[in-house]
Every structure is written in structure tokens, then in C-alpha cells.
Amino acid sequence: MSEIKAPRFKLLEAETPLRRLTRLEERLDRRLLYVKRDDQMEIGMGGNKLRSLEFWLGAAIAESADIVLVAGGPMSNQCRLTAAAAAVAGLDCIVFHNAREHEESRRASFLNGLFGAQVRFLGPVDETRRAIMVEDAAAELRRQGRRPYVVGDAIIGALGYVAAAGELHRQSRELDHPIRHVVLPGSMGPTEAGFIFGNALQDDPFEIHLVSVEYGQADLAARIARIYGDLAAHTGLFVADLNNLPIHYHMDYLGPGYGEPTLASEEAILTLARTEGILLEHVYTAKTFAGFIDMALRGRFPAGEPACVIHTGGTASLFSQFHLFRQGITVAGQ
């Protein structure tokens, strides 16, 4: 990261823990399994978007912004963490949800208001229309003399996980057996492309496994390729061609689609809670951990090659997801 020159507002005071999953190892009869706890951060219950927000807020402050705008669904981790980080930075914040306002959506968005953000419900518009409405709001704020910054630029956000790859590499080198395999959720692209770029800068110490939680492989790969290429142009750093890097796409855990639980993802929630005391949520982390567990069981990580799954956070969403559990035993412990 010392080679990357970009404004940065520090939100993380320490590295997130790298923890061995000893109870899970016993359950699966597999060894050398780890989790990188990016859900354990000091602000807003943590999560991967805080790493991106260090650079988004850095850019906002460099532009003398006095208010940040962010958009997403009512359970959006990016919205929640932007509201929390804006409070830390002393910036006003408006959160836009492309959803109808009703009791359930207000409950899901509760923490945004708690952190001091103004919350606006736009109705069930698509992402394209949502982006236009946010830009219209930013233009109106400028006419009022405000200085808005719209959070979400993929290239700036990806810098957070360029740094994370270096952090994990430093932690890995301290182990008796350095980590070889890293499992991540495959979704919008900045987290994945940033980590891949950071891994490439270090000559690929990790094989990267992307578990799709949202898109088909062609769409996911295209998103990552676009951001990866733009990162190289933005930073001016030379990295290997993406096609030559150790990246594996795993599409078998997506199930019916984004936000639709599977029996395997629900089982992953129960397994991690009841072996390691770690909470997962349905949309991102449960499917990622389901893939991690299945790969371990199937021998996808060869003996002697440690594997690590990155917990990207979002735990706060779990408390609005009770209705997504398909089995009736999740809270009774039966």
C-alpha cells in the first residue's frame, strides 16, 4: 500500500483478527482452516465496506465535501457503515433506499437513523433509476450551497481490499504453515478485484476462490476484470494479466439467486454459530461459508495447504432475516 497514493481517512485502528477454526476443523475432520474476521471492526458492527470507506471518505474530505450520499437496500451494509463512518468523520449523510417505506423496511434501516443519517425511501426502482435519483439529489444540494460526495466509486472502494490483501499476507507469514487458499464472496466486484490486485502486487501468495452470491460467472468475471484493469490505470502500478492469476469461480452455492437462502447456507449459519460462536447472515456470508465448508470436505484444499475464508461482515442484517430461515429449529436449539 505504500506505493498507492490516495487520500485516506483512517477508520481501522488495528488489523482484524486471523483466527483458526479449531472446532470447525473437528466437525469436518479437516485441518488448517482459518477465518479473517473483517466483521470485527470498531465502527458500526464492522464489515468489508469500512475498508472501502477509508478511501471514499478520504476522497470526500479531499474534495471538501460536507455531506455524503449513499444508496442501497434497507439491509445494505454499505449504507449502514457509511452512516456510521460519516458520523465519525463529522459529515452529514443521506441514505437512499430503493424500496417502499413500511414497517419492515424501516426496521431493517433502523441503524442508519441511529447513526444520524437522513433516510429516504425511493420506492421499488431499479439500480439505474436509483443512481439517477441520487445524482439529482446531489445536484439539488449543490444548488443549496452544500458540497455532496456520492459514495460508491468502485475503483476508489477497491483500494480498501488492496490493503487487506497485504494485511492478510503479513499475518499469514507469521503462521507455521502460511495460508494458501482464500475464499471470498463474489458480488459487486470492488472487494474481490481489490483483493486480487493486492494479491498480484505480492506475487500471488494466495489462490483465490470466489463464491458467487449474486451473479453468473460471466457477469461476475466481467465486473472484476473491469475494476482490476481500472485499478492498474488508477494506481499506475504494473500487475500481471488477470487471466494468468490463480482465481477460481464457484457457482454451485448461489442457489435460486441473490438473497435467496439455500439449505446449505442455512446449515452454514447453524454450524458456525454452534461450533465457533460466529454469526453469519443469509445474503453474503452464509453462502460463502457454505462454499468454504464444502470445498474443505471435498478436498479442494490439498492436505498441508491452509485455507482462510474472509468474513465480510453484515451481521446486523441477521436480525432482520428471521423470516428467511427455512428450518424451524434455528432458535430453539432442538
How many whole angstroms separate alpha carbon 9 and alpha carbon 51?
A: 10
| Nearest CA among 262, 268, 254, 261 for reference residue 220 | 254
For residues 22 and 171, membership in a common domain is answered with yes
Amino acid at 2: S
The residues facing 150 across adjacent strands are 69
Domain that residue 210 falls in: 18-46+154-324
Indicate whether 11 belongs to any domain. no
Identify whether residues 256 and 316 lie together within a single domain: yes
| 142, 159: one domain | no
334 falls within a domain: no
| Per-residue pLDDT reduced to its tens digit, 97-153 | 999 999 989 988 999 999 999 999 999 999 999 999 999 999 999 999 999 999 999
**Phi, psi values for residue 211, rounded to 5°:** -100, 110
Q: Which of 82, 116, 146 is the last residue of a domain?
A: 146
CATH code: domain of residue 101: 3.40.50.1100
Looking at the structure of the chain, the number of domains it has is 2
Same structural domain, 159 and 254: yes
Q: Are residues 33 and 109 in the same domain?
A: no
Q: Are 134 and 226 in the same domain?
A: no
φ, ψ at 234 (rounded to 5°): -65, -40
Q: What is the pTM of this model?
A: 0.94
Task: Determine, yes or no, domain membership for 329.
Answer: no
The pLDDT averaged over each successive group of 10 residues in the chain (334 residues) is: 82 96 97 98 95 98 98 92 98 97 91 97 95 98 98 97 97 97 96 98 97 96 97 94 96 91 94 96 94 97 96 84 61 45
Structural domain includes residue 27: yes
Residues 271 and 213 in one domain: yes
Residues 33 and 172 occupy one common structural domain: yes
Domain annotation covers residue 301: yes
What confidence tens digit (pLDDT) does each residue in 86-107 have? 999 999 999 999 999 999 899 8
Structural domain includes residue 200: yes
Residue at a domain's end among 123, 146, 169: 146
Convert the chain into a string of H (helix), E (strand) and C (coil).
CCCCCCCCCCCCCCCCCEEECHHHHHHHCCCCEEEEECCCCCCCCCECHHHHHHHHHHHHHHCCCCEEEEEECCCCHHHHHHHHHHHHHCCEEEEEECCCCCHHHHHHCHHHHHCCCEEEECCCCCHHHHHHHHHHHHHHHHHCCCCEEECCCHHHHHHHHHHHHHHHHHHHHCCCCCCCEEEEEECCCHHHHHHHHHHHHCCCCCEEEEEECCCCHHHHHHHHHHHHHHHHHHHCCCCCCHHHCCEEEECCCCCCCCCCCCHHHHHHHHHHHHHCCCCCCCCCHHHHHHHHHHHHHCCCCCCCCCEEEEECECHHHHHHCHHHCCCCCCCCCC
Q: b/e per residue, 219-243, with b = 16+ CB within 10 A?
A: ebbebbeebbbbbeebbeeebeebe
Residue where a domain terminates, one of 146, 165, 185: 146
**Are 84 and 199 contained in the same domain?**
no
Indicate whether 191 belongs to any domain.
yes
Pair 115, 193 in one domain: no
Residue whose C-alpha cell is 437462502: 261
Residues 191 and 228 in one domain: yes
